[in-house]
Structure formats: C-alpha cells, structure tokens
Amino acid sequence: MTRSRRQLSGAEELALTTQVEAVCPICGVGLFRRKGRKEFKDYEIAHIYPLNPTVEERIVLNGLRKLNEDPNHLDNLIPLCSGCHSAFDKPRTADEYLALIDKKEALIAVLEQRKLQHFYFLQDEVSRIVEALDSDDYTAANVILSLEAKPIDEKFDSTMPPQLRRKIRRAVSEFFSDVRERFQNLDKERPGVSDLISAQVKAFYKAQRVNQWTQQQIFTSVTDWIQKRTNAKTREAAEIVAAFFVQNCEVFE
Ligand SMILES: [Zn+2]
C-alpha cells in the first residue's frame, strides 16, 4: 500500500517552521528567502521516517525508534532546505536518521519546556536576588570552600555534560553561601517566603522530570524559567540562582 503525503494546514506548517526557528535544523540556512518585497519559502517538509520506505530503507531502519507510528504525524515531519533534504533521503543511513530523530525530539522538548516555564509561577522576591547578582557593585559576602560544594558531583548523572558540571560547581563554590544568605534575609522580611520559593522550584523541577528530559535539558530550562520570571539582565545571574537550587536540593534532589 502506498501512503500519500498529507496536505498540511497553514497553521501546521507554521508550527513546524517555528519549531526549528525558521532555519534548516541540519545546516542552519534560513528557510525563507526575500526577493524584492516578497518572502518565499525555501524549504521542503521532510518525513524523518520515510512515508513509503523502500526495501533497503526498511532494512536500514529496522528496529530503530520512531517518534510516531504514523509517518504523516507532525512529530515525524521536519522542514529542511532542499540540499539537506535530498542528502538525507538518498541514501538514508541509520546514523543520519537517528541524529535527526534526536534533533526533532530536542525541538519538541524545548517547546514543551516553554509551556511549563509559562505555566509555573515563581515568587517576585527572586528578582531581587537576581538583580543584586547583576548589579555593577556586586560583591559576594563570603566565599565557601570548594570542599563544601563537593557533594554536588553526586547529584549529576551521565546526561550532564562535563563543561556544564564545571560551570555549576564553580557557581556553587563562588556564590552559594551568599545567595543562601540573601534568601535568609528575604525570610526575615516575610517569614516562610524562602520555603514557598523552594516549593515552587521543586514543582517546576518535578514537572520537567516526569518528561524524562536529560539533566542538561532540565538545568537549561530551570535557568530559562528563572531568567524569564525575574527579568534577569544576564543569563549568568539566572544560572547562579539555578545552581543554588541544585546545591540546595530543589533541583536533581
Ligand atoms: Zn540544510
């Protein structure tokens, strides 16, 4: 039986091109071309798992995971520039197929994470800590010994890449005790507020965890959430607060 390509609605096509941020997810070239005053499509919608696999393709892809059993499902479709599309299709290799599956899965996760970031509330008081970290005259009140931050390594699993581990470890050893003191000060003004913040961060973390995202994806999403919710000027300040919550056990427990 030969399956036919499903006609996508305008909204579906827009959703797919937005998901890849309007660039080819393989080579990075823009998916739209401007000529004069008009904008033209410069992409093709590719099936990640082929719509009508040939005998060779069935053998190559046999047993490999799919994001959906229906090849016409949006999770199996991705816009590619025409060059990458034909290179991807002919010949189809298991490695390239799996790499594109990984990419698509990460893109789906980013969108889901954005929804969660919008849905989960974070107390306004956190903005004050982020602002202090971002201010020109910031000086950490006291720096703890790196020894104290050591157990943080035990919280990481293999999905946390080494460069991000180092970054979190550095943020903890440099800023943990200072950020902790700032939370304690918030509590003096409004008793219980740091407990409330802790519960909010934990809930946000758990919402990520049920989706089985990697530690790298989760830490990035926690940072994005803090940055958006606090209007942090720099990503670094949001990262320091996210690293605080790792050491303080709200994230990665
Ligand atoms: Zn391309």
Q: Which of 19, 28, 92 is nearest to 54 (CA)?
A: 92
Q: What is the pLDDT of residues 151-205, one digit of tens each?
A: 788 899 999 999 999 999 999 988 998 999 999 999 999 999 999 999 999 999 9
62 Cα–ligand 1 center, Å = 26
4-26 pLDDT, tens per residue? 888 999 999 999 999 999 999 99
Which tens digit of pLDDT belongs to each residue from 38-59?
989 999 999 999 999 999 999 9
Q: How far, in Å, from the CA of 146 to the mean position of ligand 1?
A: 45
Those residues whose beta carbon sits under 5 angstroms from the ion ligand 1 are 24, 26-27, 81, 84
Measured in angstroms, how far is the CA atom of residue 93 from the centroid of ligand 1? Answer: 17
Distance of CA 77 from the midpoint of ligand 1 (Å): 15
pLDDT band (50, 70, 90) for residue 217: very high
Q: What are phi and psi of 80, to 5 degrees?
A: -130, 155
- For ligand 1, the distance from its centroid to the CA atom of residue 27, given in whole angstroms, is 4
CA of 50 to the centre of ligand 1 (A): 18
Cα 161 to averaged position of ligand 1 atoms, centre (Å) = 27
- CA 86 to centroid of ligand 1, rounded, Å: 10
What mean pLDDT comes out for the span 62-69? Answer: 95
pLDDT digits (tens, 9 = 90+) for 22-37: 999 999 999 999 999 9
Q: Is 78 in contact with 104 (CB distance < 8 Å)?
A: yes
What pLDDT digit, counting tens, does each position of 112-143 carry? 999 999 999 999 999 999 999 999 888 765 55
